[in-house]
Amino acid sequence: MLKKTACLLICVCLLLCLSVPVLALDGGAAFTDQGSIRNVGAVQMLVDLGLISGYTDGTFRPGNYITREEVAKLIAVLCTENPQAPADVYFYDAQNSWALSYIGYCAGQGIIGGDGLGSFRPKDNVTAQELAKMLLVILGQNPENYSGAGWDERVNADAQTFGIYYGLKAQVSQPVTRDNACLLIYNAMRCPAIADPEAEGLSRYVLDDLMNPKSYLEVRYSLTRYTGVLTGNEFADLTGTDARLDAGTTKLAGHKAFAVSSDLSMLGRNVDIYVKDGRVVGMPCVVSSELSYTFENAQALGKLLSGGAFSMAEDAQYYYNFNQTGAEVLSRANARMTVIDHDGDMKFDTVLAVSCQEAVVTAVSPLTVDLGQTVQSVEKYSLSDAFSVGDKVWYMDIGGRGFIQPAD
């Protein structure tokens, strides 16, 4: 049974931990199955922090389900440098597990338990909502809220509130893959770090010099977070006509350029970049509070705006094929429209109109599409996209380079 004091110890451990795992800041993990990873930024962050790694054959195996003993290690290392199992924690089926100390630590803290009959079932798969329950406890929630009948509904409600399920495209009641486990853990790590679970208001959180809550990532791993609209990378630069930055460079509005890659889908989005000792950790990641919608054409966007619930911000920025333009782009034919609300006020701050044509994927390695008259080599618009031969896609030419998005 976990008492509230144990929750506090977990949170305090996050604050007082003065040493952190060695960071693999080597510019990105290149797994042989990298193209199959959907949550690229989340996986890269956990790899850089030393929380997860690939297999000896060079693969990451993103689609493999994660087991209870694997989750125990991830959670324990996330909480403390040297997890120790209390003497009074015993599971008969975990004594030969490689993760015994991690299992004991998590059980001792009340983060994860057995079946009530002395068994831990270390090889069983973990569902997304079971993982979310563990993460909520780490974030200072009382585990007693998630026991008994209806525990899963309460977990799901709180996980949605905290943003733990942000970006998840899977059933939460089903076993969670390594790929999606990284996403859920990363989302939890971006939540505010708790200083006092019993406190209310700002005094509950760890605050920076400006009295803003610091994220779990910043506190646990001594990272510095930079937040801003991503205005340029190696594919396009929203501040210049047909311009782009050097490869491996990303620019945020109001900040210097960072030595990290980002894809076309990040342009115009409000993102976080984490830095330690002058080097980027992980990859740029869209702020979860931001809203964005993509429409097949200007008419579909116009129909939404005519409803009155949404409108354009007075200082909205407009772009066509990532070159700055004016509001006339809202009536442009044959262009897909992505609109972005940075602050959740139901007013769109950015409009990205991109000229597209339909195409069909003909090969995935290297990636090529059939444009009707020619077969063209292309790149992914978003690194998180996955394609198969025969998929219908949208093709776009940006600065002389071809990119594709899923047609749906």
The angle subtended at Cα 331 by Cα 327 and Cα 337, nearest 5°, is: 80
Q: Provide the pLDDT confidence category of residue 339 given band limits of 50, 70 and 90.
A: very high
In tens, the pLDDT along 18-73 reads 333 333 333 345 799 888 899 999 999 999 999 999 999 999 999 999 999 999 99
Q: Per-residue pLDDT for 10 more than 50?
A: no
pTM of the model: 0.85
- Token pair for residue 101? 């100390």
How confident is the model at residue 16, as a pLDDT?
38
Q: Per-residue pLDDT for 200 more than 90?
A: no
CATH T-level topology, domain 357-406: OB fold (Dihydrolipoamide Acetyltransferase, E2P) (2.40.50)
- Token pair for residue 80? 């403390």
In tens, the pLDDT along 86-135 reads 878 888 888 889 888 899 899 888 888 887 778 889 999 999 999 999 99
| Nearest C-alpha neighbor of 290 from the set 236, 346, 237, 330 | 346
- Token pair for residue 128? 């997304």
**274 HSE (CA, 13 A, CB side):** 28
Query: Hey, where are the domains in the chain?
Result: 4-66+125-189, 223-286, 291-355, 357-406
Indicate the average pLDDT of the chain.
88
b (16+ CB within 10 A) / e for 167-182:
bbebebeebbbbbbbb
Contact 187, 131 (CB under 8 A): no
Q: How far apart are CA 323 and CA 330, in angstroms?
A: 14
Q: How far apart are CA 203 and CA 274, in angstroms?
A: 24
Q: Per-residue pLDDT for 295 more than 70?
A: yes
* Bridge partners, residue 367, by sequence: 364
In tens, the pLDDT along 216-239 reads 999 999 999 999 999 999 999 999
Residue 232 CA: distances (Å) to CA of 223, 241, 249, 270, 324: 23, 11, 8, 12, 12
How confident is the model at residue 9, as a pLDDT?
42
Q: Per-residue pLDDT for 6 more than 50?
A: no
Q: Per-residue pLDDT for 4 more than 70?
A: no
Task: Express as a percent the part of the chain with pLDDT over 70.
Answer: 93
The least confident of 2-16, 202-216, 314-328 is: 2-16
Averaged pLDDT, 156-173: 94
Averaged pLDDT, 250-265: 94
Q: Per-residue pLDDT for 11 more than 50?
A: no
| Nearest C-alpha neighbor of 348 from the set 295, 405, 406, 408 | 295
> Per the omega criterion (within 30 degrees of 0), is the bond before 366 cis?
yes
How confident is the model at residue 20, as a pLDDT?
32
- Residue 247 CB neighbour total at 10 angstroms: 9
More confident residue, 200 or 170: 170
